[in-house]
Amino acid sequence: MNASEFRRRGKEMVDYMANYMEGIEGRQVYPDVEPGYLRPLIPAAAPQEPDTFEDIINDVEKIIMPGGCCLGRGSNQPIRCVQSLGAGGSLEKGLAPACKPPVPPYLEAASPACTELETVMMDWLGKMLELPKAFLNEKAGEGGGVIQGSASEATLVALLAARTKVIHRLQAASPELTQAAIMEKLVAYSSDQAHSSVERAGLIGGVKLKAIPSDGNFAMRASALQEALERDKAAGLIPFFMVATLGTTTCCSFDNLLEVGPICNKEDIWLHVDAAYAGSAFICPEFRHLLNGVEFADSFNFNPHKWLLVNFDCSAMWVKKRTDLTGAFRLDPTYLKHSHQDSGLITDYRHWQIPLGRRFRSLKMWFVFRMYGVKGLQAYIRKHVQLSHEFESLVRQDPRFEICVEVILGLVCFRLKGSNKVNEALLQRINSAKKIHLVPCHLRDKFVLRFAICSRTVESAHVQRAWEHIKELAADVLRAERE
């Protein structure tokens, strides 16, 4: 969608919302749909080719609106709705979420459409990734998907669920054990290349977190993990949780799931896979092998808002056993109970997450998946990877520079051959010039520059201009160093 079409469609959406508000007196206060009404109304998988905007908007009225009600904050609120505290929205606020009706419910009864579209969209996305069926919602399986706010949140949710699970297991075997006695012995693990949010999850969860040394390719391997487990078990600690990263923030390295996964399963350690950035690429068959070993995971997460054209926030998380989450977070005060909660027919996502309230995030997935189609999304990923290799080739042609790690997806780690000081000076000049902006990292003892292809509209010409700019500034830095 170009700027002209976006402007036209945006005006149509404002008209749609204004008509909705003007006609709100004629809408039902409470939906009369049955649990599970939505899944039969839409395809079982994402379309390969794009749908039209008109078809999608028509489906919003036919499929989504019948499943909305006035109970959620800022949702469908006729004056007759008097059930919920602070549920009044404004016209001004309605302009912000331009492509979705304002329906952020906190339980399934508040908006069946919101809940049911999320279960279907998570299945669509899971199928695009070729996730094992154990992770999908369909066909009454034990697993399922949920949209969290961020990968940080997903890691924390997984850690807290794993902590509750191991405490219950140990107390069932030894009732005399207190929660405090177990907690002080629990230990979690991640690679030394894992995102800082993993360490933060350990801090919030009140458990020890240990970093496993990565190999020469910045990947966690079985031998290092096994050594740490044996050492900690001998010290009386209880290993219970491990985060494997696919596509690290620093250099897009990949922990070896096929090696560490079986160890976690054997040791009864919850394995959480964080693919926040790289996960989007797994919809392309040529990159799907990077996800091999996910069958050993208890939970898997990536961010469509990073590289799949879905606006922030949208972090997709799947679990093999949803009762592991609901067992950790389920609370049922009277004011949140509803008639279908024990029927087994619905999903109450309030038991799958930390917040109570939630937004209608699946609707933006539905729009994007339908307007691009799977083939369009794959083409978008492939174009970015092609451009990153183009930049890599330019760097390799210049003997002053070096590539620091294999380029697999859309990130290129590079530096001037020489000291950290000269590379820090180059980065300072690049970012001060404000023509492009780079974020650095440290790989072992090396200060490294990171060139990430991430814009929806980036073209080869942008890559070429960026490289010419970097070369010019590098020449200035090296000249200054010689002087």
Tell me the CA distances in angstroms from 240 to 110, 245, 325, one per residue in order. 36, 17, 15
SS3 annotation, the chain: CCHHHHHHHHHHHHHHHHHHHHCHHHCCCCCCCCCCCCHHHCCCCCCCCCCCHHHHHHHHHHHHHHHCCCCCCCCCCCCCCCCCCCCCCCHHHHCCCCCCCCCCCCCHHHCHHHHHHHHHHHHHHHHHCCCCHHHCCCCCCCCEEEEECCHHHHHHHHHHHHHHHHHHHHHHHCCCCCHHHHHCCEEEEEECCCCHHHHHHHHHHCCEEEEECCCCCCCCCHHHHHHHHHHHHHCCCEEEEEEEEECCCCCCCECCHHHHHHHHHHCCCEEEEECCCHHHHHHCHHHHHHHCCHHHCCEEEECHHHHCCCCCCCEEEEECCHHHHHHHHCCCCHHHCCCCCCCCCCCCHHHHCCCCCCCCCHHHHHHHHHHHHHHHHHHHHHHHHHHHHHHHHHHHCCCCEEECCCCCCCEEEEEECCCHHHHHHHHHHHHHHCCCCCEEEEECCEEEEEEECCCCCCCHHHHHHHHHHHHHHHHHHHHHHHC
Asked if residue 472 has pLDDT above 90, the reply is: yes
Q: For residue 461, is pLDDT > 70? A: yes
The residue-averaged pLDDT of 130-137 equals 92
Q: How far apart are alpha carbons 341 and 364 in whole angstroms?
A: 26
Residue 109 banded pLDDT, cuts 50, 70, 90? low
Residue 336 has pLDDT above 60, yes or no: no
Residue 213 pLDDT exceeds 80: yes
Whether the Cβ atoms of residue 427 and residue 440 lie closer than 8 Å to each other:
yes
> Is the pLDDT confidence value at 93 over 60?
no
| Long-range residue pairs from 399-402, CB within 8 A, at least 24 positions apart, any chain | 400/474, 400/478, 401/474
Q: What are phi and psi of 151, to 5 degrees?
A: -65, -35
pLDDT digits (tens, 9 = 90+) for 369-401: 998 999 999 999 999 999 999 999 999 999 999
**Residue 451 in contact with residue 412, Cβ under 8 Å?**
yes
Peptide bond before residue 313 is cis, with ω within 30 degrees of 0: yes
Question: In the chain, what percentage of residues exceed pLDDT 70?
Answer: 85
* C-alpha pair distances (Å), 359 with each of 36, 106, 148: 20, 8, 10
Report d(CA 460, CA 60) in Å as an integer.
Answer: 37
Q: What is the pLDDT of residue 103?
A: 46
Whole-number pLDDT of residue 285: 97
pLDDT at residue 88 in the model: 37
Q: How far is CA 151 from CA 299, 339, 421, in A?
A: 12, 33, 33
Residues 6+ apart with CB under 8 A from 81: 29, 70, 71, 87
Choose between 84 and 222: higher pLDDT: 222
* pLDDT above 80 (res 75): no
Q: Give the percent of the chain with pLDDT over 90.
A: 55
Higher-confidence position of 394 and 199 = 394
Residue with tokens 């969290």: 148
* C-alpha closest to that of 302 among 274, 271, 321: 274
- The pLDDT mean for the chain works out to 84
Nearest partner of 474 among 389, 405, 394, judged by Cα: 394
Give residue-wise pLDDT tens across range 151-177: 889 999 999 999 999 998 999 999 999
Rounded CA gap, 8 and 167, in Å?
55
Please say if the pLDDT value at position 267 is more than 90.
Answer: yes
226 — alpha (psi -120 to 50), left (phi > 0) or beta?
Answer: alpha
pLDDT over 50 at 74, yes or no: no
Structure tokens at 285: 């068959």
- Residue labelled with tokens 């079986």: 262
Q: So what's the pLDDT on residue 94?
A: 34
pLDDT value at residue 312: 86
Q: pLDDT-based confidence at 330, cuts 50/70/90?
A: low
Of 93, 13, 131, nearest to 359 by C-alpha is 93
CB 364 within 8 A of CB 371: no
pLDDT-wise least confident of 48-52, 231-235, 322-326: 322-326
- For residues 84-106, average pLDDT: 39
The mean pLDDT of 133-159, rounded to a whole number, is: 87
pLDDT on residue 86: 35
Most confident of 7-11, 38-42, 459-463: 459-463
**Nearest of 121, 35, 115 to residue 75 by alpha carbon:** 115
Q: What is the token pair recorded at 360?
A: 């209608």
